[in-house]
Amino acid sequence: MSAPSPRPTPRIDMHAHFYGGGLVEALLARSERPCLRERPGGALAMVAMNGEFPFTSDHFDIATGLAQMDAQGLTHRLLTFPGALGLDVLPANEAREMIAGFNDHLAGLRAASGGRIFGLAGLPLADIDAAAQEVRRIRRDLGLPGIILPSDYFNSVAEAKTLAPVLAAANETGCHVMLHPGLKVATAPPAPPADFAQYRTSAVALQAQATQTVLTLILSDIQDLWPRLSFQVVNLGGTIPFIFERMEAIARHRTPDHPFPTERLGNLWYDCASLGPRALEAAVKVLGAERIFLGSDYPIFTDDPFARTLAPADVEPEAKRKIEGGNAFALLERLLA
């Protein structure tokens, strides 16, 4: 009898967002950003915290998303509550019911998609106790693998620890936590730059903020306090792969008894959403292929993350298999067991 064929490597997109599950209706009912408004001709536009963009079926129709996955050869996708919109930091009386309904819908997509869709829940962060309770519900009752949190909370250790009840609740059952650009409760979005705003905000500032998130996690005791959490930092951890040697040099010259803990970078997870092969090559050398996920940032970006980023990268075949889906599959199997 011949040996069974090896299971093909899953191709899992670990950074994508979903605006369905009742959010369309909630956003249409709003008059202030974030909201949806109708453009001349009937097309919808999302008025978000950092600008306005066309709102298409890619954002809210799961059938559209599954067809796009098929076209790109993606076997699975991790969808998240759209944290960057700021819906999770609205007053609790506005956010609680809306977010709970979204999370219910997101949990149902796994069965509706034949197991291809997984999801990270949103939380009503203006009520920290309700947010902690929602973490317990989505893990114990809904079976979702984790949550998405605004990374503005991770610009410092003190800010991150204001989420202690949420992190403790997530730690109780083990939880995957994506740290994604987003506002804290009761904070306004920063004023846009005077020029070249799309590049200064959506690239330079975003990457710097992701770097701050990494520093908070690896320099603090957060991972020791809540060891059952797996943290995912978006966009390959920002500028970390390019400046870690400078941070090592700073420590070597200013605090030689306390070297920069480069090895702790390997405690986190990272995705390559919206970045390219050269960035991925640098990240593999610094972070390790076993800590990196494929990611697209769909529907904000619609590029094929495998064809555009992973396939052309000068990375060993085994490393590519891990990034393509092996890492994500192993993590999700544990979280969903």
Q: Are 183 and 150 in contact (CB under 8 A)?
A: yes
Q: Are 280 and 270 in contact (CB under 8 A)?
A: no
Domain assignment present for residue 39? The answer is: no
Among 41-45, 230-234, 259-263, 276-280, the range scoring the smallest mean pLDDT is 41-45
Where residue 170 sits, what CATH number does that domain have? Answer: 3.20.20.140
Residue 4 banded pLDDT, cuts 50, 70, 90: very low
Question: Nearest Cα to 185, choosing from 97, 92, 96?
Answer: 92
Domain assignment present for residue 48? The answer is: no
Domain assignment present for residue 1? The answer is: no
Q: What total of structural domains would you count in the chain?
A: 1
Q: Are 175 and 229 in contact (CB under 8 A)?
A: yes
Question: Counting beta carbons within 10 angstroms of the beta carbon of residue 234, is it exposed (0 to 12), middle (13 to 18) or buried (19 or more)?
Answer: buried
Domain assignment present for residue 217? The answer is: yes
Domain assignment present for residue 169? The answer is: yes
Structure confidence at residue 337 (pLDDT): 73
What would the pLDDT profile of 164-196 be if each residue is shown by its tens digit?
A: 999 999 999 999 999 999 999 999 888 889 999
- Which domain, by its residues, includes 177? 12-20+57-335
Helix axes 240-254, 206-219, angle to 10 degrees: 50
Percentage of the chain surpassing pLDDT 90?
90
Mean pLDDT of 127-148: 98
Structure confidence at residue 50 (pLDDT): 75
Residue 126 banded pLDDT, cuts 50, 70, 90: very high
Average pLDDT, the chain: 95
Domain assignment present for residue 182? The answer is: yes
Residue 130 banded pLDDT, cuts 50, 70, 90: very high
**Residue 22: both structure tokens together:** 């009742």
What would the pLDDT profile of 29-65 be if each residue is shown by its tens digit?
A: 999 989 999 888 889 999 987 778 899 999 999 999 9
Q: Are 240 and 286 in contact (CB under 8 A)?
A: yes
Percentage of the chain surpassing pLDDT 70?
98
Identity at 292, one-letter amino acid code: I
Among 49-53, 159-163, 282-286, 296-300, the range scoring the smallest mean pLDDT is 49-53
pLDDT(246) > 80: yes
pLDDT(259) > 70: yes
Structure confidence at residue 49 (pLDDT): 78
Burial 25-42 (b: 16+ CB within 10 A, else e): ebbeeeeebbbbeeeeee
Domain assignment present for residue 4? The answer is: no
Q: Are 89 and 148 in contact (CB under 8 A)?
A: no
pLDDT(127) > 80: yes
Structure confidence at residue 93 (pLDDT): 96
For residue 132, what are the CA distances in angstroms to 29, 172, 187, 258, 298? 27, 11, 21, 35, 28
Mean pLDDT of 4-29: 86
Structure confidence at residue 3 (pLDDT): 35
Mean pLDDT of 260-275: 97
Which position has the higher pLDDT, 336 or 133?
133
Domain assignment present for residue 31? The answer is: no
